[in-house]
Amino acid sequence: MDKANYIMKLLIAALMMMASGLSFAADGWYDGERWRALHEDPRQVARLEMDPASDGQVIEMRVRSVHLQSAVTASLESQRSAGRMIQVPVFRDHPGGPVRVAIGGVILQFSEKLSAEQQANWLAREGLIVLEAPEGLPWMLVASQPGRPSLELANRLYQKPEVIQASPNWWREAARR
């Protein structure tokens, strides 16, 4: 098989995968030290209903509920959407796998070498806002936009030497009993 023929067959296979709703794992995140590939589901989106008690800044708003919809239905409804609804992509660990939605925020854990003062200074330098820091637990939730910005921030923070864990704040569909 010549090189041009091989490349053509590879392109046809990729186009067939994309047409069937499958995608390559171009996205991912660090689960501890392990890289986990993600696949954006082109057939589905999540519509996040934001808490009206929030102060109005999307970055600090809390999610009240998550509604999964087909991408087609969501695009029709987005034209008449309420101001408190935000549409974000749906990710899956593998095509057809369980749903993951980055609902905003990044779960962050610092190296034990940093004092509380060093952590506070680092957060200020990075321009991060702490939403939650449960007492006695080694992690905190910092603010980010929902969806892809949360994924990108988690991956950027994970690369920092002060950080040992940075993960998007995932919503996962619960099985009904």
- pTM over 0.95? The answer is no
Cβ neighbour number for residue 24 with a 10 Å cutoff: 12
Q: Please compute the mean of the pLDDT values over residues 60-79 and round it to a whole number.
A: 76
- What's residue 142's pLDDT? 97
Q: Please compute the mean of the pLDDT values over residues 86-107 and round it to a whole number.
A: 94
Q: What DSSP string describes 60-112?
A: GPPEEEEEEEEHHHHHHHGGG--TTEEEEEEEESSTTS-EEEEEEEEEEEE-T
Q: 100 forms bridges with which residues in the sheet?
A: 91, 172
Q: Please compute the mean of the pLDDT values over residues 41-63 and round it to a whole number.
A: 77
- What's residue 77's pLDDT? 64
In eight-state DSSP terms, residue 120 is H
CB 71 within 8 A of CB 133: no
- What's residue 24's pLDDT? 44
- What's residue 69's pLDDT? 87
Q: How far apart are CA 123 and CA 166, in angstroms?
A: 13
Buried b (16+ CB within 10 A) or exposed e, 155-172: bebbeeeebbbbbbbbbe
Domains assigned to the chain: 35-98 (no CATH), 103-172 (3.30.70.80)
Average predicted confidence (pLDDT) for the chain: 83
- Measured over the CA atoms of residue 21, residue 86, residue 76 and residue 148, the dihedral's sign is negative
User: Helix, strand, or coil here: 147?
Assistant: coil
Condensed to tens digits (0 to 9), the pLDDT of residues 120-149 reads 999 999 999 999 999 999 999 999 999 999
